[in-house]
C-alpha cells in the first residue's frame, strides 16, 4: 500500500487519540464483562452431532441434478508462453462436456486484491485467469475439462497436448535480492521505522546478538481441500463454497460476472479448515465461468496437489535480528529486518516484523521489510502471517542474548516488557505477559531447567527446556451487520453471513447472544454461512468473533430501543429511556429498579405483534487506534534430542495465553492446542521443497509435505490468564492465530538447551543438527 495510506492511518490515530474515550467503542467497558452467563461456559460444538454423523454437508458434497465435474491442467513451466495447444483428443474423450482454455474462456477482469478496508475486495492474485497464452508461474492453470464424472474429467485432462516456449523465470530467492522492493507500508503500518541509531548502539553495547534466521515456505493443508459447486439459473448464481469470506466472495463474483449482487448467493455453512487459505482463488472464477457456458452445475474440487500448485502458502523468509543489552539486561538496540517473497500481483506482505514492534522496549530500534518479486503463485495469509515466522527469529535471538549474558531468558524478557506501545507510546488496553510467564513457569516446572546447555542427559537422550513469547494484535474488522429476530414466545434468531472453519462460530455466538439478549441458550439460534444474510466481515485476522459480537451488541441496543417504544405508556417501564433498561430474563428490566420489568411476550402481545426484527452494524473499530491492543503468550517446551541420531522428540508443550476473556473454555482450548500443533509442525517438519531451477514445488502432497501426525504430538497444556480486555467486546481478543506464534522458537531454544547447538533455520531437522555439531 501507499504513502497516502500511511498519512491517512497516521491522521486517524492522531484524531482518535484526541477524542474523549466515551465517544469511542470500548470507551466504557462492555457491561457483559465479568458477568457470569453462557459466555465462559464449557459448551461442545452445537454442530458437532451433524459433523460426526456425516449430516453436515460440505461444498463438494451438495447433490445437484445434471452436475458435471471439473479437472484442471497446470503449467509445468514457470515462465513463457503456450506454443501449441491440442484439445481434440480431450474433447473426443468419453463423457467430456467442455474443454476450457485461454482460447475459449470468457474475457474477464482481474479480481480486486483483498484489503482489510474494502469488504468487497477478496482476491489473492491479480493475475489474469485463463485470459492469454502467457505462463506466469509453475502450477498456473492452463486448461479445465468438464465431464460427466470426475474420473472422465481427469482422464480427458491427461489428453490435452500443450507445448511451451519457455522464458527465463525469476525463481531464486537470493538472486532476487538486489532488486528487492521496499514497500511504504505493511498492512496498515508504516514499513520502515527507526528510533535512535540502532546500528551504533549495537556496536557499543556490552552484549549483542546479530544473526540471520531463515524459514522455508509453508503450504496450506487444511483437512478439506478447496471446493466449489456452481449452479446458474439464468443470470442468477448459487455457489456452494468453502470460504472464509462469504459476503466478499458474493460481491466479487457479482462484479466479475456483471450481475446484480442480489442475484449471487454464496453458501458455505461448513468449512473444513481455513487458516487463511480459503479465500478467493482461480478455481472460483473457473468453475463459475464454466457453469455459465455449459448451463449446467459444475463441481470443482482441488486435488491436494492442486492446492499446493494454485493456492499460495506462507512465503519463505530470511530475517536479520540484532539485539543488544546493557549488563542489567535493558535492551539498547533491536533491529528486525529481512526479505520475503511477495510478487506485485499478490496481497500478503508476510508481516514478520510487526510483532517485534509491540513486544519489547528498546532504546534504539530499526524495522523494515523487503519484498522479492518471484514468478510464483502469490503467497497468502497463513495462520498468524508474519508473527508465526517473525517470532521464531526474534525469540531465538532473545534466547541467544540471555545465554550470552548468563541471565534467565524469562527474566531478560520481563526486564524489557513495555508499559506502553514501544513505537506509538499509546497505552496497552490490557497486557499481562509477566503473569502468563509466572503461571507458565510454575505449571511447567521451569525451575528444573539447567542454564548450562548439554548438561542433562538420560542415556543417549540429551534433555532440554526452552521458552518463547508469542504475540498477535487484536483485530476487529470494519463493517458487518447482524439481524436479530425476536418472537413473542421469547426466542431469538441472530443472523449474519458468518463463516465457521471449525472453530465453533455458531456455538460461541449463540452463547453470546443468549447473554446479550437475556435469554436462555436453548431459546437462541445463530444462522450463518449464507450471503443472503446481513454481511459479516471475512473470518480472518482472528477477528471474526469480536467483530460479530460488536454487531450483535449494536443490534441488541437497537432492539432495546424499539421494544421500549413498542412497550408504550401501558408498560411498567413507561418513561424510561433505552440507556436505563437492559435485556434480561426474557424481557426489559429497569437498571435502577429491577422490580420494574416488562416481558417480551407482554410487550409484543400488547402491540399485537408476533415478532420484531432489527438489523444493525457495529461502530467502526476505532478502539484499535485509541489503544494498543495486543495479545501475548508464554510458550514452554520440554524435549529430548538423541545424541546419536540428532532426532528431536518433544516431551511436553505448555502455553499460557493472555488473550482477554475466554468465551468458551472447551472450544478455545481446542483452537489454542491446534495452533500449538501447527507451531510444532512449523518447528520440526513443515517445509515447501521449492526447486529454484524450475520454480516448481516438489513435495506437493501430504506424503512429502510433513504435517504432524498423532504420534508426533506430545502432551500439550493450554492455559490462560483470563484477564478481560476492558476495551474490546466481551473483553475478548482473537485466539485463532496467536497459538502458533512463539512455539517454534520455544522448541529451537529447548534444542539449544539440550544440545548446545543453535539452529537458525526451520525446520529443525536432524541433518542440520548433526552438521552443526560436526562443524
Ligand atoms: Mo487468517 S491467516 O487471517 O485466516
**Residue 274 CA, ligand 1 centroid: distance in Å:** 7
What pLDDT does 188 receive? Answer: 87
C-alpha 338 chain-centroid distance = 22
* Whether the Cβ atoms of residue 390 and residue 352 lie closer than 8 Å to each other: yes
- Residue 141 CA to residue 118 CA, distance in Å, equals 27
327-332 mean pLDDT: 97
Residue 345 sits at φ, ψ, to 5 deg, of -95, 10
**Residue 655 CA, ligand 1 centroid: distance in Å:** 20
What pLDDT does 1 receive? Answer: 52
* Grid cell listed for 420: 506502553
- Residue 440 CA to residue 197 CA, distance in Å, equals 35
Query: Which of 273, 280, 737, 739 has most ligand 1 atoms within 8 Å of its beta carbon, as the pocket-test mutant?
Result: 737
For 611-641, what is each residue's pLDDT tens digit?
Answer: 999 999 999 999 999 999 999 999 999 999 9
- Residue 367 CA to residue 334 CA, distance in Å, equals 8
Q: Is 603 strand, coil or helix?
A: helix
**Angle (CA) 744 750 754, round 5°:** 145
DSSP string, 35-99: --SSTTS----TTHHHHHTT-SPPGGG---TT-EEEEEEE-SSSSEEEEEEE-HHHHHSTTEEEE
Question: Ligand 1, closest atom to CA 274?
Answer: 4
| Sheet with 96-100, side-by-side order of all strands | 96-100, 141-147, 68-74, 298-301, 227-233, 236-241, 264-267
492-521 mean pLDDT: 97
**Residue 501 CA, ligand 1 centroid: distance in Å:** 11
**Residue 275 CA, ligand 1 centroid: distance in Å:** 5
For 537-551, what is each residue's pLDDT tens digit?
Answer: 999 999 999 999 999
Is the pLDDT at 116 greater than 90? The verdict is no
* Grid cell listed for 261: 449482487
95-114 mean pLDDT: 96
Residue nearest to atom 4 of ligand 1 (CA): 276
- Report the share of the chain in percent with pLDDT over 70: 99
Helix (H) or strand (E) run with residue 117 in it: none
**Pocket-forming residues, ligand 1, beta carbon under 6 Å:** 244, 274-276, 381-383, 385, 540-541
Q: 562, 737, 771, 773: which one is catalytic? A: 737
C-alpha 360 chain-centroid distance = 23
Residue 182, Cβ neighbours under 10 Å: how many?
A: 10
**Residue 123 CA, ligand 1 centroid: distance in Å:** 14
Query: Which of 276, 277, 738 has most ligand 1 atoms within 8 Å of its beta carbon, as the pocket-test mutant?
Result: 276
* Whether the Cβ atoms of residue 325 and residue 205 lie closer than 8 Å to each other: yes
434-452 mean pLDDT: 98
Question: Ligand 1, closest atom to CA 275?
Answer: 4
Question: Ligand 1, closest atom to CA 543?
Answer: 3
Question: Ligand 1, closest atom to CA 539?
Answer: 4
- Residue 303 CA to residue 361 CA, distance in Å, equals 47
Tally of CA atoms within 13 A in the half-sphere of 357 that contains its CB:
25
Bridge-partner residues for 228, per DSSP? 241, 300
In sequence order, the 6+-apart residues with CB closer than 8 A to the CB of 219 are: 307, 308, 313, 314, 686, 688, 697, 700, 705
What pLDDT does 332 receive? Answer: 98
What pLDDT does 478 receive? Answer: 87
What pLDDT does 663 receive? Answer: 98
- Residue 519 CA to residue 492 CA, distance in Å, equals 8
What pLDDT does 523 receive? Answer: 98
- Residue 527 CA to residue 533 CA, distance in Å, equals 8
Known catalytic residue at 737: yes
Q: Is 685 strand, coil or helix?
A: coil
Place 192 in a pLDDT band, splitting at 50, 70 and 90: very high
For 540-579, what is each residue's pLDDT tens digit?
Answer: 999 999 999 999 999 999 999 999 999 999 999 999 999 9
**Residue 540 CA, ligand 1 centroid: distance in Å:** 4
Taking the model in full, what pTM does it have? 0.97
In sequence order, the 6+-apart residues with CB closer than 8 A to the CB of 548 are: 480, 482, 496, 498, 505, 509, 536
Angle between helices 665-684 and 387-405 (to 10 degrees): 70
Is the pLDDT at 91 greater than 90? The verdict is yes
For 220-234, what is each residue's pLDDT tens digit?
Answer: 999 999 999 999 999
- Report the share of the chain in percent with pLDDT over 90: 94
**Residue 538 CA, ligand 1 centroid: distance in Å:** 9
- Residue 27 CA to residue 626 CA, distance in Å, equals 9
Bridge-partner residues for 732, per DSSP? 660
32-46 mean pLDDT: 95
Question: Ligand 1, closest atom to CA 277?
Answer: 4
What pLDDT does 657 receive? Answer: 98
What pLDDT does 17 receive? Answer: 87
Query: What stretches of 618-703 adopt beta strand conformation (E)?
Result: 630-642, 648-658, 690-691, 696-697
Bridge-partner residues for 657, per DSSP? 633, 720
- Residue 296 CA to residue 66 CA, distance in Å, equals 6
Place 775 in a pLDDT band, splitting at 50, 70 and 90: low
- Residue 445 CA to residue 693 CA, distance in Å, equals 48
Q: Is 674 strand, coil or helix?
A: helix
Distances (CA, A) of 257 to 250, 252, 390, 749: 11, 9, 39, 52
- Residue 468 CA to residue 398 CA, distance in Å, equals 9
**Residue 228 CA, ligand 1 centroid: distance in Å:** 20
User: What is the DSSP pairing of strand 597-599 with strand 587-590?
Assistant: antiparallel
Residue 428 sits at φ, ψ, to 5 deg, of -70, 145
In sequence order, the 6+-apart residues with CB closer than 8 A to the CB of 147 are: 68, 69, 71, 93, 94, 95, 96, 97, 153, 156
- Residue 603 CA to residue 530 CA, distance in Å, equals 31
Is the pLDDT at 514 greater than 80? The verdict is yes
Average pLDDT, rounded, for the chain:
96
**Residue 573 CA, ligand 1 centroid: distance in Å:** 45
Is the pLDDT at 5 greater than 80? The verdict is no
Give pairs for 584-592: CB < 8 Å, separation 24+: 584/518, 585/518, 586/490, 586/518, 586/519, 586/523, 587/518, 588/560, 588/563, 588/564, 589/518
What pLDDT does 6 receive? Answer: 82
**Angle (CA) 508 669 316, round 5°:** 105
148-168 mean pLDDT: 98
**Angle (CA) 734 736 741, round 5°:** 100
**Residue 244 CA, ligand 1 centroid: distance in Å:** 9
Question: Whats the size of the chain, residue-wise?
Answer: 775
- Residue 736 CA to residue 242 CA, distance in Å, equals 18
Query: Which of 124, 222, 275, 280 has most ligand 1 atoms within 8 Å of its beta carbon, as the pocket-test mutant?
Result: 275
**Residue 384 CA, ligand 1 centroid: distance in Å:** 7
Amino acid at each position: 500500500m501507499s504513502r497516502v495510506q500511511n498519512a491517512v492511518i497516521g491522521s486517524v490515530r492522531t484524531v482518535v487519540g484526541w477524542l474523549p474515550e466515551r465517544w469511542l467503542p470500548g470507551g466504557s467497558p462492555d457491561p457483559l464483562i465479568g458477568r457470569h452467563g453462557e459466555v465462559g461456559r464449557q459448551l461442545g460444538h452445537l454442530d458437532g452431532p451433524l459433523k460426526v454423523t456425516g449430516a453436515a454437508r460440505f461444498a463438494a458434497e451438495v447433490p445437484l441434478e445434471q452436475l458435471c465435474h471439473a479437472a484442471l491442467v497446470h503449467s509445468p513451466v514457470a515462465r513463457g508462453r503456450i506454443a501449441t495447444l491440442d484439445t481434440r483428443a480431450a474433447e473426443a474423450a468419453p463423457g467430456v462436456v467442455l474443454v476450457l482454455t485461454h482460447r475459449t474462456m470468457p474475457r474477464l477482469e482481474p479480481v480486486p486484491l483483498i484489503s482489510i478496508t474494502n469488504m468487497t475486495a477478496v482476491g489473492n492474485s491479480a493475475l489474469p485467469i485463463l485470459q492469454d497464452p502467457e505462463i506466469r508461474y509453475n502450477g498456473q492453470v492452463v486448461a479445465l475439462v468438464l465431464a460427466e464424472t470426475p474420473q472422465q474429467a481427469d482422464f480427458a485432462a491427461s489428453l490435452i497436448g500443450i507445448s511451451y516456449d519457455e522464458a527465463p523465470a525469476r525463481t531464486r530467492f537470493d538472486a532476487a535480492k538486489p532488486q528487492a522492493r521496499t514497500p511504504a507500508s505493511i498492512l496498515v503500518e508504516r514499513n520502515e521505522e527507526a528510533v535512535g541509531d540502532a546500528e551504533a548502539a549495537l556496536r557499543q553495547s556490552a552484549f549483542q546478538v546479530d544473526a540471520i534466521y531463515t524459514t522455508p515456505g509453508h503450504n496450506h493443508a487444511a483437512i478439506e481441500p478447496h471446493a466449489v459447486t456452481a449452479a446458474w439459473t439464468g443470470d442468477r448464481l448459487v455457489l456452494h463454497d468453502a470460504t472464509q469470506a462469504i459476503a466478499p466472495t458474493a460481491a466479487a463474483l457479482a462484479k466479475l460476472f456483471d450481475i446484480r449482487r442480489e442475484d449471487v448467493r454464496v453458501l458455505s455453512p461448513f468449512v473444513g479448515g481455513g487458516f487463511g487459505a480459503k479465500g478467493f482463488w482461480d478455481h472460483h472464477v473457473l468453475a463459475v465461468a464454466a457453469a455459465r457456458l455449459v448451463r449446467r452445475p459444475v463441481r470443482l474440487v482441488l486435488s491436494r496437489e492442486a492446492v499446493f500448485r494454485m493456492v499460495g502458502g506462507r512465503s519463505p523468509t530470511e530475517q536479520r535480528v540484532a539485539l543488544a543489552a546493557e549488563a542489567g539486561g535493558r535492551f539498547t538496540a533491536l533491529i528486525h529486518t529481512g526479505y520475503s517473497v511477495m510478487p506485485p500481483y499478490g496481497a500478503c506482505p508476510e508481516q514478520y516484523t510487526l510483532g517485534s514492534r509491540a513486544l519489547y522496549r528498546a532504546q534504539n530500534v530499526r524495522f523494515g521489510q523487503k519484498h522479492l518479486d518471484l514468478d510464483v503463485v502469490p503467497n497468502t495469509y497463513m495462520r498468524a502471517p508474519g508473527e508465526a515466522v517473525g517470532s521464531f527469529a526474534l525469540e531465538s535471538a532473545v534466547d541467544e542474548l540471555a545465554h550470552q549474558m548468563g541471565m534467565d531468558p524469562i527474566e531478560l524478557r520481563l526486564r524489557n516488557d513495555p508499559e506502553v506501545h514501544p513505537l506509538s507510546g499509546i497505552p496497552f488496553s490490557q497486557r499481562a505477559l509477566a503473569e502468563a510467564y509466572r503461571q507458565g513457569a510454575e505449571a511447567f516446572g521451569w525451575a528444573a531447567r539447567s542454564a548450562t546447555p548439554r548438561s542433562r542427559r538420560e542415556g543417549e537422550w540429551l534433555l532440554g527446556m526452552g521458552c518463547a513469547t508469542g504475540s498477535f494484535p487484536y483485530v476487529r474488522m470494519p463493517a458487518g451487520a447482524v439481524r436479530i429476530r425476536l418472537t413473542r414466545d421469547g426466542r431469538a434468531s441472530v443472523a449474519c453471513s458468518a463463516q465457521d472453519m471449525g472453530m465453533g462460530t455458531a456455538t460461541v455466538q449463540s452463547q453470546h447472544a443468549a447473554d446479550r439478549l437475556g435469554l436462555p441458550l436453548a431459546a437462541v439460534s445463530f444462522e450463518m454461512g449464507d450471503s443472503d444474510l446481513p454481511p459479516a466481515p471475512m473470518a480472518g485476522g482472528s477477528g471474526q468473533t469480536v467483530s460479530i459480537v460488536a454487531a450483535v451488541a449494536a443490534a441488541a441496543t437497537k432492539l432495546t430501543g424499539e421494544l421500549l417504544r413498542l412497550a408504550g405508556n401501558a408498560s411498567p417501564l413507561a418513561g424510561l429511556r433505552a440507556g436505563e433498561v437492559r435485556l434480561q430474563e426474557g424481557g426489559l428490566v429497569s437498571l435502577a429498579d429491577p422490580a420494574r420489568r416488562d416481558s417480551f411476550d407482554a410487550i409484543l402481545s400488547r402491540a399485537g405483534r408476533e415478532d420484531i426484527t432489527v438489523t444493525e452494524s457495529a461502530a467502526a473499530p476505532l478502539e484499535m487506534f485509541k489503544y494498543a491492543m495486543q495479545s501475548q503468550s508464554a510458550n514452554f517446551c520440554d524435549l529430548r534430542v538423541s545424541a546419536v541420531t540428532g532426532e528431536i522428540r518433544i516431551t511436553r508443550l505448555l502455553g499460557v495465553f493472555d488473550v482477554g476473556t475466554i468465551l468458551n473454555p472447551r472450544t478455545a482450548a481446542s483452537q489454542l492446542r491446534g495452533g500449538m500443533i501447527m507451531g510444532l509442525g512449523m518447528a520440526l517438519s513443515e517445509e515447501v521443497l521449492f526447486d529454484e531451477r524450475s520454480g516448481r514445488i516438489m513435495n506437493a502432497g501430504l506424503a512429502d509435505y510433513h504435517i504432524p501426525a498423532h504420534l508426533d504430538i506430545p502432551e500439550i497444556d493450554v492455559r490462560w490468564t483470563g484477564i478481560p480486555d476492558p476495551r474490546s467486546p466481551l473483553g475478548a481478543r482473537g485466539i485463532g492465530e496467536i497459538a502458533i506464534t512463539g512455539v517454534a522458537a520455544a522448541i529451537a531454544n529447548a534444542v539449544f538447551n539440550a544440545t548446545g547447538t543453535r539452529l537458525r533455520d526451520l525446520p529443525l531437522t536432524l541433518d542440520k543438527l548433526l552438521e552443526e555439531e560436526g562443524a
